[in-house]
Amino acid sequence: MTKRVTRRELLTMLAATGTSATVLNASAALGMIPDTRLGIPEIPRADPINRPSIVILGAGISGLTAAYELDKAGYDCVVLEAAPKAGGRCLTVRHGDLIDEVGNPQICDFDDEPHMYFNAGPARIPSSHRNLMHYCKALGVELEIFINENKECYYQDDAMFKGKPIKNRVFTTNARGFMAEIMAKNFNNDELERPFDRYEAEALISAMRAFGDLDADELYKGSFRAGYAKGGFIDHGEQTEVVALHELLKSRFMNSALTANEGETGPVLFQPVGGMDKIVQGFARELRNKIYYDVVVTSVQLQDNGVAIEYQHNGIKYLVEADYCFNCIPTHLMTGIDNNFPADYQEAMHHVRRGEAYKSAFQTKTRFWEKDDIYGGITWTNQPIRQIWYPPHGLFKEKGVILAAYDFGGGMHFTRLSQEERLETAIRQGEKVHSDYRQQVEKGITIAWHRMNHMLGCAARWSSSFGGMSAREERLYHTLQAPAGGRHYTIGDQVSLHTAWQESAILSAHWAIGDMVKRMGGTSSMPGRRV
Amino acid sequence: MIKSIVRILLAMAVLHSGLAVAQQYNQVVQGSQSLANKVCVTCHGANGKGNPVVGAPRLAEIEPWYLRKQLQAFRGEFRGTQKDYIPGFEMQDSVARMSDEEIEAVVAYIGTWHSNENPPSIAGNATRGSELYLACAACHGVNGEGNEALAAPGLARKDDWYLYRQLKLFQSGYRGSHPEDLSGRTMRTGIANIENDQDINDVLTYINGL
Tens-place pLDDT, residues A334-356: 999 999 999 999 999 999 999 99
Report the pLDDT value the prediction gives residue B84, as an integer from 0 to 100.
85
- Of the candidates B24, B41, B115, the beta carbon closest to that of A296 is on B41
Residue in A with minimal Cα distance to B9? A96
Using a CB-CB distance cutoff of 8 angstroms, which residues of chain B are in contact with residue A416?
A: 83, 89
Determine contact, residues B207/B160, Cβ cutoff 8 Å.
yes
Determine contact, residues B42/B90, Cβ cutoff 8 Å.
no
Report the pLDDT value the prediction gives residue A41, as an integer from 0 to 100.
87
Determine contact, residues B105/B34, Cβ cutoff 8 Å.
yes
User: Which of B6, B38, B39, B117 to mutate: most A Cβ within 10 Å?
Assistant: B38
Superfamily of domain B33-116: Cytochrome c-like domain (1.10.760.10)
Under an 8 A CB cutoff, do A102 and B2 touch? no
pLDDT digits (tens, 9 = 90+) for B94-135: 888 888 988 998 999 899 898 888 889 999 999 999 999 999
Q: What is the CA radius of gyration of chain A?
A: 27
Q: Report d(CA A187, CA A201) in Å as an integer.
A: 8
Burial class (CB in 10 A: 0-12, 13-18, 19+), A158: middle
A446's enclosing H/E stretch is strand A441-448
pLDDT digits (tens, 9 = 90+) for B153-201: 999 999 999 999 999 999 999 999 999 889 999 999 999 999 999 999 9
Residues in chain B, how many?
210
* pLDDT classification of A523: cutoffs 50, 70, 90: low
Q: Report d(CA B20, CA B13) in Å as an integer.
A: 8
SS3 label, residue A156: strand
Report the pLDDT value the prediction gives residue B48, as an integer from 0 to 100.
93
Give me the sign of the Cα torsion angle A200, A206, A212, A215. Answer: positive
Report the pLDDT value the prediction gives residue B96, as an integer from 0 to 100.
87
| Average pLDDT of the residues in A218-244 | 93
Determine contact, residues A276/A61, Cβ cutoff 8 Å.
no
Residue B44 sits at the chain A interface (C-beta within 8 Å): yes
* pLDDT classification of A9: cutoffs 50, 70, 90: low
Residue A338 neighbours by CB distance under 10 Å: 16
Residue A97 DSSP symbol: -
pLDDT digits (tens, 9 = 90+) for A273-308: 999 999 999 999 999 899 999 999 999 999 999 999
- Of the candidates B10, B45, B97, the beta carbon closest to that of A337 is on B45
- Of residues A289 and A524, more confidently modeled: A289
Q: Report d(CA B190, CA B152) in Å as an integer.
A: 11
Determine contact, residues B187/B148, Cβ cutoff 8 Å.
no
* Distance in angstroms between the alpha carbons of the first and the last residue of chain B: 51
pLDDT digits (tens, 9 = 90+) for A175-208: 999 988 888 877 765 555 566 777 887 888 898 9
Under an 8 A CB cutoff, do A453 and B22 touch? no
Under an 8 A CB cutoff, do B54 and A456 touch? yes
Strands in A306-313's sheet, in edge-to-edge order, are A316-322, A306-313, A296-303, A338-339
Residue B96 sits at the chain A interface (C-beta within 8 Å): yes
Q: Where are the domains of chain B?
A: 1-32, 33-116, 126-208
Residues 6+ apart with CB under 8 A from A481: A490, A495, A511
Domains of chain A: 53-87+279-352+461-520 (3.50.50.60), 92-123+357-451 (3.90.660.10), 154-260 (1.20.1440.240)
Measured CA to CA in angstroms, residue A80 lies from A3, A221, A296, A346, B12 at distances of 65, 63, 8, 22, 32
* pLDDT classification of A272: cutoffs 50, 70, 90: very high
Report the pLDDT value the prediction gives residue A220, as an integer from 0 to 100.
95
pLDDT digits (tens, 9 = 90+) for A146-180: 999 999 999 999 999 999 999 999 999 999 999 88
Strands A324-327, A488-490: pairing kind: parallel
Q: Report d(CA A303, CA A291) in Å as an integer.
A: 24
Residue A93 has pLDDT above 60, yes or no: yes
Residue B17 has pLDDT above 90, yes or no: no
Determine contact, residues A358/A405, Cβ cutoff 8 Å.
yes
Residue B23 sits at the chain A interface (C-beta within 8 Å): no
pLDDT digits (tens, 9 = 90+) for A412-454: 899 989 999 999 999 999 999 999 999 999 999 999 999 999 9
Report the pLDDT value the prediction gives residue A189, as an integer from 0 to 100.
58
Q: Report d(CA A203, CA B25) in Å as an integer.
A: 66
Two domains, one topology: B33-116 and B126-208: yes
Q: Report d(CA A456, CA A82) in Å as an integer.
A: 13
Report the pLDDT value the prediction gives residue A16, as an integer from 0 to 100.
53
A78's enclosing H/E stretch is strand A76-80
Report the pLDDT value the prediction gives residue A262, as an integer from 0 to 100.
79
Using a CB-CB distance cutoff of 8 angstroms, which residues of chain A are in contact with residue B56?
A: 336
Under an 8 A CB cutoff, do A84 and B1 touch? yes
Residue B36 sits at the chain A interface (C-beta within 8 Å): no
Determine contact, residues A19/A194, Cβ cutoff 8 Å.
no
A444's enclosing H/E stretch is strand A441-448
Which positions 199-258 of A are in contact with B (Cβ < 8 Å)?
A: none
- Of residues A135 and A186, more confidently modeled: A135
Residues 6+ apart with CB under 8 A from A364: A399, A400, A401, A402, A440, A441, A442
Q: Report d(CA A514, CA A69) in Å as an integer.
A: 11
- Of the candidates B1, B89, B116, the beta carbon closest to that of A416 is on B89
Which of A95-109, A474-488, B4-18, B187-201 has the least mean pLDDT? B4-18
Q: Report d(CA A271, CA A119) in Å as an integer.
A: 10
Residue A283 neighbours by CB distance under 10 Å: 24
Residue B39 sits at the chain A interface (C-beta within 8 Å): yes
Q: Give the residue from A429, A365, A437 showing the smallest Cα distance to A401.
A: A365
Superfamily of domain B126-208: Cytochrome c-like domain (1.10.760.10)
Secondary structure E strands in A315-408: 316-322, 324-327, 338-339, 353-355, 358-364, 377-381, 387-390, 400-407
Measured CA to CA in angstroms, residue A141 lies from A132, A138, A272, B68 at distances of 11, 8, 6, 49
Report the pLDDT value the prediction gives residue B7, as an integer from 0 to 100.
42
- Phi then psi dihedrals of residue A223, to 5 deg: -155, 145
Under an 8 A CB cutoff, do B51 and A107 touch? no
Q: What is the CA radius of gyration of chain B?
A: 19
Q: Which residues are registered as beta bridge partners of A447?
A: A359
Residue B13 has pLDDT above 90, yes or no: no
3-state helix, strand, coil in chain B (%, to 5): 60, 0, 40
Residue A340 sits at the chain B interface (C-beta within 8 Å): no
Residues 6+ apart with CB under 8 A from A208: A180, A183, A184, A187, A214, A218
pLDDT digits (tens, 9 = 90+) for A370-389: 999 999 999 999 999 999 99
Determine contact, residues A399/A364, Cβ cutoff 8 Å.
yes
Report chain A's mean pLDDT, rounded to a whole number. 90
Residue A244 DSSP symbol: P
Residue A319 sits at the chain B interface (C-beta within 8 Å): no
Q: Which residues are registered as beta bridge partners of B156?
A: none
Report the pLDDT value the prediction gives residue A103, as an integer from 0 to 100.
85
Residue A203 neighbours by CB distance under 10 Å: 12
Residues in chain A, how many?
531
pLDDT digits (tens, 9 = 90+) for A22-44: 333 333 333 345 665 677 888 98
Residue A341 neighbours by CB distance under 10 Å: 20
ipTM: 0.81
| Average pLDDT of the residues in B12-36 | 47
